[in-house]
């Protein structure tokens, strides 16, 4: 096969060489390529072609108009200036590269971060009624927001006029059957108004009817997501009216939601069924606080008016049911506030960090342009003296900035695309609307314009100064004096600001590092290493008897216990640090509150015997739960240390009587005290917790999490555990399998995420600040060569010359440090919600960061200082 010229090079030429010459040039190059290929082999020919092509491309791209054939001379002046701008890349490659890279990093990072922030934080709730939606909560003993019981919800919807509508929602995890391996779905049970309150209509079929929201029909109809419709019915429009097998029952699909619909309170939900509660139901009481209630503010009614009316309703409800409410009034939260509250602090801290990064990038670009202008002051003056109009000079300065910003902007856009992908991949679970994150063109454009503006201003200042100054003066006094005075001071101030910004970012990073280190060494109250969690859910007719559920879990536990490597196994109704949340009210005999609604609440763990051992939770007093504690035997309970201290201060809790849940439930004897476990997050200590045998609960928990302590690789245990569950009952699905370390990683994900961003930004800021410092010091040494030379000739020792540079370095860095420390002290509280047991003004962090910055400043000053010492007096004096 005959070799062919490199296609990319040829493509480049086709793009860049003017049409008039393109054909001949390409033809000649091809002939040349063949000749070289015959004479010297295809590799040499290949290299020759690339060399020639790049040379020709660059030449024709940057060719001045006056050298162009007449055809090209019609190009607008703008084109000429832009080409002039491009020439800067050839003439000052280091300067151009630094400017382009700084632009690219600054723009890329900013665009990436704000592209993520925009849909997540700024775009609001994606429902037609989004801005009018409120979360309505009961108030707890400490006025904290609490879920709502169904009777309260019913009264609220009947009585409120300021709310146009309200809907109650709770979680639902039906098992999809009729397929090879039953799967657990994520779904919601909703009151019939749910979709109309959101303002969403099914794309196919219809919404729920009020008569379907009753006990007799709650299991007969569902509305499904667009994705589920695609998966289960292949997007067939006849799906409405067909049936699905959910948790052993046949239900009819009555509607399909529009694509892109996401239930913000249950991301990933795919099926919705009516709530179907009736006033007499055990789970419908006022104290059965497990429903989220969404209210729709009537148009034209403000939040305060809603609050006033709902508080009045609450007053009436409390008067009628004094034992059911702890505090008067409802706790209202606009839905968008609620959604962003969890991720807001992380993203806002990151937004602040990226703004600082953009600032430091702009400072550096300005600094680079000023430095270059300084070096070209003489050239400007000569050109002005020779009659170049001020317009031309300014236009060319602007063109240079625009061209560099353009090139940097393109690179930055690429960085932004990669950055957004990385951010989405790294983002902690629970960030809403993450799937809608795209590189945002508007954001890219705005940051790009900002950076260009900075470049223009920085390039403009010296050009106009040169034009304004009397050219003769500039020429007589050597190149740098006139423009230099202003620019030098400006550059120095910019470096001070850059150092300050870098310090702020470093402090932020330092604080986050210390928080994460602190958090990762927190004792969660159990031993997470070598612990596998497997969530299993029973369902359907076969498990309608509690005994069947208990038997199933007992059998699974026994089978898993015999697997090789397994040291201990037990099951629990909720797993620490997994997002499980189940609190119950409890009363202590002799300590009952006059209002039962004010009784303390605590996390409830229904566990099988051996749970403490499997988890590695220490037993502090008394005894653990035993197989003998079963249905029918005297009811027992274990409490944790915090519960013992807060409710039994100065008493021995062992042997005391505790009632859990409703007022008619049995009294239980406290038989042991165990260590605290971090349930909600590693940060939250001091939660009240109690443990009861699964078999002594008023009903069987159908969903339990197996905790398996094992030696060796946990991943290798997954298949045998699955098999063990299948052997007991092949229709029971395993919902999630995760190691305890994975749960902990998810729990700290947002912190790790923020820290990763801060680390990168702080490193970039540090490098940029160091470069700025180096630039200013180096320029100052160059300018003062003469002075340094004379000093040297007059016998100034080397240390004195070194001291000169060191002093200016120290002055700039010192000022920056002071400015940065002040800013960090003032702005540190922005990070507070991300810090763990570290003060935002932690002296150790500030000291360490200050030292790092000084060390880097020392490095940046070293080369200029070395050059200052090595100035040869004779040469320096001869120069000008």
Partner 1 sequence: MSDKSLPPAPLGEFEQLVLLAVLQAGASAYGAVIQREIETRTGREAALGAVYTTLLRLEAKDLVASRVGEPLPERGGRRRKYYRVLPAGIRHLEASLAALRRMAAGLPSPLELP
Binding-site ranges for partner 1 (CB under 8 A): 21, 23-32, 34-35, 51-52, 55-60, 63, 67-70
Q: In the bound complex, what is the minimum distance in angstroms from residue 77's beta carbon to partner 1?
A: 20
**Dist CA 250 CA 219 (whole Å):** 8
Pick left, alpha or beta for residue 494 (phi over 0 → left; psi -120 to 50 → alpha; otherwise beta): alpha
Nearer to partner 1, 55 or 414 (CB): 55
Q: Report the Cα 866 to chain-centroid distance in Å.
A: 44
604 near 583, Cβ under 8 Å?
Answer: yes
Nearer to partner 1, 33 or 153 (CB): 33
Q: In the bound complex, what is the minimum distance in angstroms from residue 73's beta carbon to partner 1?
A: 10
Q: In the bound complex, what is the minimum distance in angstroms from residue 509's beta carbon to partner 1?
A: 49
Q: Which ranges in 321-389 belong to alpha helices (H)?
A: 335-385
Nearer to partner 1, 52 or 396 (CB): 52
Q: In the bound complex, what is the minimum distance in angstroms from residue 81's beta carbon to partner 1?
A: 20
Q: In the bound complex, what is the minimum distance in angstroms from residue 58's beta carbon to partner 1?
A: 8
Q: Report the Cα 95 to chain-centroid distance in Å.
A: 34
Q: In the bound complex, what is the minimum distance in angstroms from residue 59's beta carbon to partner 1?
A: 4
Q: In the bound complex, what is the minimum distance in angstroms from residue 96's beta carbon to partner 1?
A: 21
Nearer to partner 1, 58 or 718 (CB): 58
Residue 412: name the closest of 366, 367, 459, 354 by CA: 354
**Dist CA 702 CA 732 (whole Å):** 11
334 near 297, Cβ under 8 Å?
Answer: no
Nearer to partner 1, 59 or 231 (CB): 59
Nearer to partner 1, 55 or 315 (CB): 55
**Dist CA 249 CA 57 (whole Å):** 72
Nearer to partner 1, 39 or 795 (CB): 39
Element holding 34 (H helix, E strand): helix 19-40
Angle at the Cα of 96 from the Cα atoms of 80 and 114, rounded to 5 degrees: 100
**Dist CA 87 CA 104 (whole Å):** 19
Give the HSE-up count for residue 510: Cα atoms under 13 Å, Cβ half-sphere: 23
* Residues making up the chain, counted from first to last: 880
Nearer to partner 1, 27 or 441 (CB): 27
Q: In the bound complex, what is the minimum distance in angstroms from residue 29's beta carbon to partner 1?
A: 6
Nearer to partner 1, 1 or 70 (CB): 70
Nearer to partner 1, 32 or 803 (CB): 32
Using DSSP's 3-state secondary structure scheme, residue 213 falls into coil
Would you state the structure tokens that stand for residue 341, as one six-digit string? 């509250």
> What percent of the chain is helix, strand and coil (3-state, nearest 5)?
55, 15, 30
Place of tokens 């629970």: 430
Q: In the bound complex, what is the minimum distance in angstroms from residue 796's beta carbon to partner 1?
A: 44
**Dist CA 706 CA 703 (whole Å):** 10
Would you state the structure tokens that stand for residue 613, as one six-digit string? 């051992």
| Close Cβ partners of 602 (under 8 Å, ≥ 6 residues apart) | 583, 584, 586, 639, 643, 687, 688, 689, 690
Residue 620: name the closest of 678, 693, 671, 681 by CA: 671
CA gyration radius for the chain? Answer: 36
104 near 412, Cβ under 8 Å?
Answer: yes
Q: In the bound complex, what is the minimum distance in angstroms from residue 21's beta carbon to partner 1?
A: 6
Q: In the bound complex, what is the minimum distance in angstroms from residue 76's beta carbon to partner 1?
A: 20
3-state SS track over 394-426: HHHHHHHHHHHHHHHHHHHHHHHHHHHHHHHHH
Q: In the bound complex, what is the minimum distance in angstroms from residue 25's beta carbon to partner 1?
A: 6
Nearer to partner 1, 31 or 523 (CB): 31
**Dist CA 665 CA 306 (whole Å):** 37
Q: In the bound complex, what is the minimum distance in angstroms from residue 13's beta carbon to partner 1?
A: 10
Place of tokens 């600054």: 106
Nearer to partner 1, 20 or 178 (CB): 20
Q: In the bound complex, what is the minimum distance in angstroms from residue 36's beta carbon to partner 1?
A: 11
Q: In the bound complex, what is the minimum distance in angstroms from residue 62's beta carbon to partner 1?
A: 11
Would you state the structure tokens that stand for residue 730, as one six-digit string? 């092949």
Nearer to partner 1, 55 or 93 (CB): 55
Burial class (CB in 10 A: 0-12, 13-18, 19+), 31: exposed
Q: In the bound complex, what is the minimum distance in angstroms from residue 69's beta carbon to partner 1?
A: 5
Would you state the structure tokens that stand for residue 316, as one six-digit string? 């009436």
Q: At what angle do helices 335-385 and 749-783 cross, to 10 degrees?
A: 10
Nearer to partner 1, 36 or 480 (CB): 36
Q: In the bound complex, what is the minimum distance in angstroms from residue 358's beta carbon to partner 1?
A: 39
252 near 183, Cβ under 8 Å?
Answer: no
**Dist CA 199 CA 78 (whole Å):** 52
524 near 748, Cβ under 8 Å?
Answer: no
| β partners of residue 590 | none
Using DSSP's 3-state secondary structure scheme, residue 183 falls into strand
Would you state the structure tokens that stand for residue 30, as one six-digit string? 């091809």
Nearer to partner 1, 54 or 548 (CB): 54
Nearer to partner 1, 44 or 342 (CB): 44
Nearer to partner 1, 16 or 619 (CB): 16
């Amino acid at each position: 096969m005959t070799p062919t010229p490199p296609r990319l090079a040829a493509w480049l030429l086709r793009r860049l060489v003017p049409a008039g010459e393109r054909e001949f040039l390409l033809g000649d190059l091809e002939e040349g390529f063949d000749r070289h290929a015959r004479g010297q082999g295809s590799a040499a020919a290949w290299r020759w072609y690339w060399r020639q092509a790049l040379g020709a491309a660059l030449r024709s791209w940057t060719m001045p108009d006056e050298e162009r054939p007449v055809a090209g001379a019609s190009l607008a002046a703008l084109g000429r200036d832009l080409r002039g701008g491009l020439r800067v890349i050839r003439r000052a490659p280091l300067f151009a590269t630094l400017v382009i890279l700084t632009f690219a990093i600054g723009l890329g990072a900013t665009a990436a971060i704000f592209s993520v922030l925009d849909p997540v934080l700024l775009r609001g709730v994606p429902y037609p009624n989004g801005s009018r939606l409120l979360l309505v909560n009961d108030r707890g003993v400490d006025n904290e927001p609490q879920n709502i019981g169904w009777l309260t919800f019913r009264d609220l919807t009947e009585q409120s006029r300021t709310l146009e509508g309200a809907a109650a929602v709770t979680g639902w995890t039906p098992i999809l059957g009729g397929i090879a391996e039953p799967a657990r779905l994520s779904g919601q049970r909703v009151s019939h108004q749910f979709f109309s309150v959101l303002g969403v209509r099914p794309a196919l079929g219809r919404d729920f009817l009020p008569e379907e929201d009753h006990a007799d029909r709650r299991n007969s109809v569902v509305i499904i997501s667009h994705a589920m419709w695609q998966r289960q019915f292949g997007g067939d429009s006849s799906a409405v009216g067909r049936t699905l097998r959910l948790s052993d029952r046949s239900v009819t699909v009555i509607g399909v939601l529009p694509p892109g619909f996401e239930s913000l309170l249950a991301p990933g939900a795919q099926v919705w069924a009516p709530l179907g509660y009736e006033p007499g139901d055990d789970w419908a009481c006022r104290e059965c606080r497990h429903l989220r209630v969404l209210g729709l503010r009537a148009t034209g009614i403000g939040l305060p008016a809603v609050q006033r009316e709902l508080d009045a309703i609450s007053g009436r409800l409390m008067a009628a049911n004094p034992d059911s409410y702890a505090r008067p009034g409802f706790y209202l939260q606009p839905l968008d506030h609620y959604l962003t509250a969890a991720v807001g602090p992380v993203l806002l801290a990151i937004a602040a960090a990226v703004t600082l990064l953009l600032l430091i990038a702009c400072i550096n670009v300005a600094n680079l342009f000023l430095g270059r202008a300084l070096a070209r002051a003489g050239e400007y003056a000569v050109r002005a003296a020779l009659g170049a109009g001020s317009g031309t000079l300014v236009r060319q300065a602007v063109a240079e900035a625009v061209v560099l910003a353009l090139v940097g902007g393109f690179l930055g856009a690429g960085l932004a695309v990669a950055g957004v992908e990385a951010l989405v991949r790294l983002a902690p679970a629970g960030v809403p609307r993450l799937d809608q994150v795209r590189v945002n063109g508007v954001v890219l454009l705005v940051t790009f314009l900002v950076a260009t503006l900075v470049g223009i201003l920085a390039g403009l200042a010296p050009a106009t100064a040169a034009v304004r100054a009397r050219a003769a003066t500039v020429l007589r006094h050597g190149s740098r004096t006139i423009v230099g005075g202003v620019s030098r001071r400006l550059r120095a101030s910019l470096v001070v600001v850059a150092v300050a910004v870098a310090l702020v970012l470093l402090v932020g990073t330092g604080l986050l590092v210390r928080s994460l280190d602190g958090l990762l060494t927190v004792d969660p109250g159990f031993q997470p290493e070598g612990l596998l969690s497997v969530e299993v859910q029973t369902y359907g007719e076969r498990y309608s008897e509690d005994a069947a559920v208990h038997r199933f879990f007992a059998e699974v536990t026994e089978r898993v216990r015999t697997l090789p490597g397994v040291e201990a196994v037990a099951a629990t109704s909720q797993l620490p640090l997994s997002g499980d949340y189940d609190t119950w009210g409890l009363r202590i005999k002799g300590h009952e509150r006059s209002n039962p609604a004010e009784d303390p609440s605590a996390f409830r763990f229904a566990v099988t015997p051996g749970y403490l051992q499997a988890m590695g939770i220490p037993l502090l007093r008394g005894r653990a739960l035993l197989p003998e504690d079963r249905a029918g035997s005297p009811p027992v309970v274990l409490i944790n240390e915090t519960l013992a201290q807060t409710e039994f201060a100065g008493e021995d809790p062992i042997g005391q009587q505790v009632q859990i849940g409703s007022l008619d439930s049995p009294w239980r004897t406290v038989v042991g005290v165990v260590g605290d476990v971090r349930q909600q997050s590693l940060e939250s200590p001091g939660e009240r917790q109690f443990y009861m045998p699964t078999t002594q609960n008023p009903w069987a928990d159908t969903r339990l999490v197996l905790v398996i302590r094992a030696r060796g690789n946990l991943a290798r245990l997954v298949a045998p555990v699955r098999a063990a569950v299948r052997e007991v009952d092949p229709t029971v699905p395993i919902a999630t399998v995760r190691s305890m370390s994975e749960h902990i990683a998810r729990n700290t994900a947002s912190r790790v995420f923020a820290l990763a961003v801060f680390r990168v930004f702080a490193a970039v800021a540090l490098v940029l600040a160091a470069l700025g410092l180096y630039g200013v010091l180096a320029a100052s040494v160059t300018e003062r060569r003469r002075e340094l030379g004379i000093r040297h000739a007059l016998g100034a020792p080397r240390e004195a010359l070194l001291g000169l540079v060191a002093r200016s370095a120290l002055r700039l860095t010192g000022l920056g440090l002071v400015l940065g420390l002040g800013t960090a002290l003032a702005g540190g509280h922005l990070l507070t919600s991300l810090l763990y047991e570290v003060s935002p003004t932690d002296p150790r962090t500030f000291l360490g960061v200050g030292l790092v910055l000084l060390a880097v400043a020392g490095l940046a000053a070293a080369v200029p200082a070395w050059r200052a010492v090595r100035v040869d007096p004779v040469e320096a004096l001869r120069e000008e």
